[in-house]
A and B are shown apart, each in its own frame.
Chain A
C-alpha cells in the first residue's frame, strides 16, 4: 500500500495554463508538505499544512495555491504556468511537525 501518493506522475503543459497536482497520504498524519526540486536537484520547502491549516509559506508566488480539503489530502494548484515552474514537485507528510517526514514519488512538471 502506497503511504504518500501523488497524481499525476508526469505533467507536460504549455505556458499560461492552469494545472493541479494531487497528494494523498494514508498514514493518518496531521502535517503535509509541498517541496520543489529544481533542475539542479536542490529541494526546497514550499508549503506546510498542519490539520488543514497553513503553517509555512516560503515566499512562493501567488500563482501557487495549496488546498487541503481534509487531513489526508494536500493539493497544489498552479495558475498561469511559467517556464521556470518546470521541476519535480514532492508531497510529504509527518505525524506532527518535527517528526520524520515521508515523501511521495514526485510529479515531474514540464512547461513548454
Chain B
C-alpha cells in the first residue's frame, strides 16, 4: 500500500530559525515528489518538485532533498519568517496520481 507520512504534525518556531520538515513514503517506485504549501481556506501552492532521478531542488530559502532508496524527503526552510506559517504537504507521484501526506502545520512566531 502506498502511504506517505509527515513528521512532525505541527511545529512552532521563533522567527529566524532554520527548520526541517520530514516526509517518508512506503513505496520507493516513485515518479517524482512534490512539496506544497496550503494557507487556511486556500488552495495548494507548489513549492518544489523533485524528479525521481534527482537528489535535491532549491528555491530561495527552500531546499528539498530526496532519498528514494530509504523512502525519505526533507524540506529545509532557512531563516523562517512569520509569512512562512502554513500547512506544508508532501505528495508522491505514483503512475499518474499524487498520494499526499497529512501535512505539517507550521507556525513561525514573530
Contacts and interface: CB of A to CB of B under 8 A. Distances in A.
Contact of A41 (B43, B91, B102): B102
A42 B49 contact: no
Residue in B87, B97, B100 whose Cβ sees the most chain A Cβ within 10 Å: B97
Contact of B42 (A31, A45, A98, A106): A106
Contacts of A48: 96-97
A97 B97 CA distance: 8
A98 B43 contact: no
A41 B87 contact: yes
Provide the main secondary structure of the chain A interface. strand
Contacts of B24: none
B49 A43 contact: no
Query: Chain B: interface residue count, which band?
Result: 20 to 34
B7 interface: no
A90 B44 contact: yes
Q: Contact residue range for chain A?
A: 20 to 34
A63 interface: no
B96 A106 contact: no
B contacts with A: majority SS: strand
A98 B31 contact: yes
B34 interface: yes
A35 B98 CA distance: 9
Given A56-B97, A97-B96, A98-B93, A104 B43 contact: yes
A36 B53 CA distance: 29
Contact of A90 (B43, B97, B102): B43
Interface in A57-112: 58, 90, 92, 97-98, 100-106
A45 to B, nearest CB: 4
22 contacts: A4-B43, A41-B87, A41-B102, A41-B103, A43-B91, A44-B100, A48-B96, A55-B96, A56-B96, A90-B44, A97-B96, A98-B93, A100-B46, A100-B49, A101-B34, A101-B91, A102-B46, A103-B44, A103-B45, A103-B46, A104-B43, A105-B42
